[in-house]
Amino acid sequence: MGELLPSLAAQSIRVGLLEYLETTFALSDLPAHLAMADFLEHPTEGIFKGPYLRLRLPFRPAAEGWRSALDWHPLDDGTGFTPYRHQAEAFARLSSAGLGPDDRPKPTLVTTGTGSGKTEAFLYPILDHVLRAKARGVTGMKALILYPMNALANDQAQRLAELITTLPSLAGVTAGLYTGQQGPARTKVSADGLITDRYVMRSSSPDILLTNYKMLDQMLLRAADAKIWAQSADSLQYLVLDEFHTYDGAQGTDVSMLLRRLGLTLKAHGASGERPLGRITPVATSATLGDGAEPGAMLAFAETVFGESFPADAVITESRLSIDEWAGGGQLPAGVEVVDGIELVTAVSLNVEALGSDPEPDDLAHAVLQAVYDDERGELTDVELVKHHPLTRRLLEACVDATALRTLAGEVLPGADVGEAEACVTAFAGLLSHLRYDQGRGMPSVEVHLWIRELTRIDREAAPAPAFAWSDDGGAPLGA
């Protein structure tokens, strides 16, 4: 996939859709044609809501000493991966290193935002545990991971297959994908994916099994799959529910009962423990539950689904750098002049317009950087220039929550023409997106949301001057 600049992509979608509608509904009467165009493009009553812009500062990195929680980590294979603080907190809770025979890793709820590495937060401790268990000669399944949809399971299966096949230290780990989808019956983990041959998985349970709750229900019913549970009664240590927020209402009740059946099945094959899931450590992840939700409600929900109480410290939330921590407090070198305000809007407009309607990301970034600073830039890198520019700080402060681009432009560039200021912010957000793509997770992430209304039930007023209205809204026609 090529580089995507969300702010420019939203703009392109708006223009393209309007051009399509103009061609599809080609009104021959010019006043009616113009009135329809104004109706569709109206900033508050038209077919578009947004775009809305949100900027998220980088996650706080893990503190020194995080490595001690795990015996194994991708760093062992020279990957250079270092965790965020919330990932390190999950490692510490979920690690089985150093535990006695009667102890288990701690139940954990990872409720951090999109792109925060929730999968790594539970998968690395699981892989660490698998390697240690295999070294002791333990067979059977060690972790069961449930996904609400096959698409998610397939995506995560491919990621896990890539880990196992590219990291030499994981060469002996087995993992399977058990869903109802038809496909090639793989008998071993390869670059193409995980084990899918059910005969192989029944003969020798994989260390890690990915499935969904409907297939788990089938596995608990099928006599042929009983071998999997018989082999895994004493070895199964982790049960992970990904996208935990989807298990509410009737579906949550079904899953809750399903997990109790799983516990009873394992106990029928010799598993021990008084809790419904015995010695299994329950784990759940969700980006939605962590977005301002009250921890007590999450803990109560988890207790209902898993059948055991979760301590208050089981909830792991995200932590991000402050603007000062990210940007630093250094001063610009002498002679480096910042362009801001109306002058900035004018300079960005001229530079970006010269690139045409679909600029290359590199060209856009270069054009914006030329506009925001005078020719003298010293030896500062592009990242340092962006960090020091006052517009960056104003945008980060204003975009903690998703904010309408038009509203945002007026706030961060007061006094400028609203349309030109909006175009300037769009281009500057494109610069931030390009640096994020180029520099990685050390730069803020850029999120753009654009809502599009279905084009149905439009009324035209019976009057000499054309005017249109949404039938369902009950308001006066625009232009009347």
Q: Letter for the amino acid at 182?
A: Q
Residues 355 and 277 in one domain: no
The per-residue pLDDT for 132 is 96
Determine, yes or no, domain membership for 480: no
> Which DSSP letter does residue 190 get?
B
Residues 418 and 360 in one domain: yes
Cα 330 from Cα 438, distance rounded (Å): 23
- The total number of residues shown for the chain amounts to 480
Q: Letter for the amino acid at 17?
A: L
Contact of 439 with 429, CB cutoff 8 Å: no
CA 3 to chain centre: 17
- pLDDT at position 379 over 90: no
Pick from 81-85, 142-146, 290-294: least confident:
290-294
Radius of gyration of the chain (CA): 27
pTM score of the predicted model: 0.86
In sequence order, which residues have a C-beta less than 8 Å from that of residue 190 and are 6 or more positions away?
A: 161, 165
Residues 35 and 115 in one domain: no
The per-residue pLDDT for 344 is 93
Residues 92 and 221 in one domain: yes
- pLDDT at position 237 over 60: yes
- pLDDT at position 198 over 90: yes
Residues 44 and 79 in one domain: no
Backbone dihedral region for residue 303 (phi beyond 0: left; psi -120 to 50: alpha; all else: beta): alpha
Closest to 242 in 3D by CA, of 121, 375, 98: 121
The per-residue pLDDT for 404 is 94
Determine, yes or no, domain membership for 474: no
Residue range(s) defining the domain that contains residue 14:
6-58+324-452
The per-residue pLDDT for 374 is 67
Cα 177 from Cα 184, distance rounded (Å): 12
Of 317, 334, 354, at which residue does a domain stop?
Answer: 317
Q: What are 264-309's pLDDT values in tens digits? A: 999 999 998 899 999 999 999 988 765 455 678 889 999 999 999 9
Task: Give the CATH number, domain containing residue 302.
Answer: 3.40.50.300
Is residue 144 classed as helix, strand or coil in its secondary structure? strand
> pLDDT confidence of 40, banded at 50, 70, 90?
very high
In sequence order, which residues have a C-beta less than 8 Å from that of residue 444 and are 6 or more positions away?
A: 55, 56, 57, 58, 326, 396, 432, 436
Residues 269 and 206 in one domain: yes
- pLDDT at position 141 over 80: yes
The per-residue pLDDT for 295 is 78
Cα 316 from Cα 320, distance rounded (Å): 13
Closest to 213 in 3D by CA, of 270, 260, 279: 260
The CA-to-CA distance between both ends of the chain, in Å, stands at: 47
Residue 22: its H or E element: helix 6-24
- Count of C-beta atoms within a 10 Å radius of residue 121: 25
The per-residue pLDDT for 329 is 67
Output the six-digit token pair for 200: 């192989």
Residues 267 and 187 in one domain: yes
Contact of 205 with 231, CB cutoff 8 Å: yes
Residues 439 and 302 in one domain: no
Closest to 125 in 3D by CA, of 65, 68, 64, 70: 70
Residues 35 and 88 in one domain: no
Determine, yes or no, domain membership for 464: no
The per-residue pLDDT for 252 is 85
Which range of 161-170, 379-388, 460-469 scores highest in mean pLDDT? It is 161-170
Output the six-digit token pair for 341: 């305000």
Residues 51 and 109 in one domain: no
Determine, yes or no, domain membership for 38: yes
The per-residue pLDDT for 375 is 63
> Which DSSP letter does residue 371 get?
H
The per-residue pLDDT for 119 is 94
Is residue 177 classed as helix, strand or coil in its secondary structure? strand
Which percentage of the chain shows pLDDT scores above 70?
Answer: 95
Is residue 431 classed as helix, strand or coil in its secondary structure? helix
| Residue linked to tokens 């970034």 | 365
Pick from 87-101, 332-346, 407-421: least confident:
332-346
Of 317, 347, 369, at which residue does a domain stop?
Answer: 317
Residues 401 and 344 in one domain: yes
The per-residue pLDDT for 43 is 85
Closest to 317 in 3D by CA, of 344, 349, 348, 286: 286
Determine, yes or no, domain membership for 20: yes
State the total domains in the chain: 2
Cα 141 from Cα 283, distance rounded (Å): 16
CA 47 → CA 50, 176, 224, 279, distances in Å? 10, 46, 54, 54
Determine, yes or no, domain membership for 466: no
Of 317, 352, 384, at which residue does a domain stop?
Answer: 317
Instruction: Give the chain's mean pLDDT.
Output: 91
- pLDDT at position 138 over 90: yes
Residues 171 and 306 in one domain: yes
Cis, bond preceding 105 (omega within 30 deg of 0): no
Which percentage of the chain shows pLDDT scores above 90?
Answer: 70
Cα 391 from Cα 397, distance rounded (Å): 10
- The residues with which 211 forms a beta bridge, in sequence order, are 146, 178
Determine, yes or no, domain membership for 463: no
What is the mean pLDDT of the segment spanning 25-40?
90
